Amino acid sequence: MIKLIVGLGNPGAKYEKTRHNAGFLFLDYLAGRLGEWVTETKFHGRVLNCVIGGNKVILLKPQTFMNKSGMSVGAIARYFKIEVDEIVVAHDELDLTAGDLKLKKGGGHAGHNGLRDIIDNLGKKDFYRLRFGIGRPLDGGNVADFVLSNPSKQEQLYMQESFARIESQLVDLVRGDASKIMNNLNKKQDL
């Protein structure tokens, strides 16, 4: 069963709608239906306690900036005694095209500094990753500039459709039916 859903991003208006904030944007999408954010300094983040499919779930948006996300995730996981396999981390994924959405368990950080810090802080990597495709810069441009820029209107539409696809299966995900969700999500979508 999933007890903690983390969305990765950077705090502040400058980063609010950037590709790198896909995790924050997803949780904000859910929060519009589930409740209000509360700032919790002891967890270095914004927290929303909610019920999904009859199960208590914590949503977390670390406010430590991406590269230090593990500080927030580790603090809340230790405080509530949440096991690593009870955590889903939603984040942007360069290696998936815009609109693609995948769920996987474990693995490396693939150069994603937010994931790297979470792995380092938890000492384990067997949490679930909800990967929102953002693609790569078409012109071979700077990746950092790309992820920290706003997506096009079409990419924003793809992102919203991805959020709706996972929301429709959120109850099953929280209840721990990850293999069913993986089969449903890990297919190429016609958008």
Give the pLDDT mean for 101-122.
Answer: 91
Tens of pLDDT, residues 22-72: 999 999 999 988 999 999 999 999 999 999 999 999 999 999 999 999 999
Please name every residue paired with 152 in a beta bridge, in sequence order, or none if there are none.
Answer: none
Nearest Cα to Cα of residue 89 among 111, 69, 110: 69
Active site residues: 20
Return the domain boundaries, the chain: 4-185
Give residue-wise pLDDT tens across range 125-151.
Answer: 999 999 999 999 988 788 999 999 999
Reported pTM: 0.94
| CATH code, residues 4-185 | 3.40.50.1470
